[in-house]
Structure formats: C-alpha cells, structure tokens
Amino acid sequence: MNIERFAAIVGTGHARTDAKTCEYFSRDIFFWDDAAGVAAVISPADAGQVAAVLAEAVSQGLPVAVRGGGMSYTGGYVATQPATVLVDLGRLNAVRELNREDQYLTVEAGATWESVSAALAGTGLQTAIKDRTRVACPPLAVRCLKVSSMR
C-alpha cells in the first residue's frame, strides 16, 4: 500500500496506519475476533476527497470498507480481506441545511445525532430521537447527502 498517495489527498494526519487506530476501526461494537483488521484508516473531509480516496484505492487494488459512526453490531464494515482500507466518514459531519418550513435537515454522511441536536438547539424543532450519541444519522426527518456512489 502506498499510504503517501492517500495522505496527499486527505492530509498526513488523516491517513493513518498505526496499530492502535487500525485496531479501533477494525471492529464495530460487537466482537469480531476473527476480523482481518484494516491496514489503513483514511478520513476524507468532503465528498471530493471521498471520491479521490476511492479512486486511489481502486488504482492500488485495495479493498474498501466504509464507516459512519461505528455504532452498528452486524459486521457491515468489518474487513474480510487483508489490506482493507477503511474510509472513516467522521469528518463529514456538517449540517448543511435546516428547512424550518418543511421541517427537514440535510446533513453530511458522517453527521451524528449530537451535531443534529446542536443544530436544532433553540429552534423549537427536534428529531424523534433526542439522545445525543455518536451514531450517524439514518434518514428519518434527516436526509443524508449522497457521497460519491456509496449510497
């Protein structure tokens, strides 16, 4: 794996291969002791970087897994192949639009309920789920932006 080419896209601190980071991002909240483990964690800052990271992974022939908030327990992003690159969407956490009239939010794919709650503070609006967690937002009254071809 040429990690420098990923770092050139997302910045050095956002293309990580250290054991602690890879271990953390190799599991969801279940156990998965037999998981292959990821070889790198790449954290793009916007949709353009997501597309560039995916193109780079393809050009290097590397498998890819995508993680939102990491709060699932079904192994959806747990690597099954060695040298998997994990694309961490945690930096795509902006709330893009709050439409008060039609009562919806448009958020980026890594936005959390915590960031949604912060955006709604003082507006008199709330989501059905008020708990502040790190779980990224599924589409209730919240519409997630499409990120490249992933959704």
Ligand X SMILES: Cc1cc2nc3c(=O)[nH]c(=O)nc-3n(C[C@H](O)[C@H](O)[C@H](O)COP(=O)(O)OP(=O)(O)OC[C@H]3O[C@@H](n4cnc5c(N)ncnc54)[C@H](O)[C@@H]3O)c2cc1C
Give the residues lining the site for ligand X (CB under 6 A).
Answer: 28-29, 65-72, 76-77, 89, 109, 135-136, 138, 147, 150-151
Q: Which one, 114 or 124, has the nearer CB to ligand X?
A: 114
Q: Residue with CB nearest ligand X?
A: 76
Query: For the chain, how many residues are written?
Result: 151
Q: Which one, 40 or 66, has the nearer CB to ligand X?
A: 66
CB of 122 to ligand X, least distance (A): 26
CA 93 – CA 110 distance, rounded (Å):
5
CB of 33 to ligand X, least distance (A): 18
CA 66 – CA 35 distance, rounded (Å):
15
Q: Which one, 2 or 130, has the nearer CB to ligand X?
A: 130
With left for phi above 0 and alpha for psi between -120 and 50, is residue 49 left, alpha or beta?
A: alpha
Contact at 8 Å (CB) between 54 and 31? no
CB of 6 to ligand X, least distance (A): 18
Contact at 8 Å (CB) between 131 and 113? yes
CB of 127 to ligand X, least distance (A): 13
Q: Which one, 102 or 131, has the nearer CB to ligand X?
A: 131
Q: 65-102 b/e with 16+ CB inside 10 Å = b?
A: bbbbbbebeeeebbbeeebbbbbbbbbbbbbeeeeeee
Q: Which one, 2 or 29, has the nearer CB to ligand X?
A: 29
CB of 108 to ligand X, least distance (A): 9
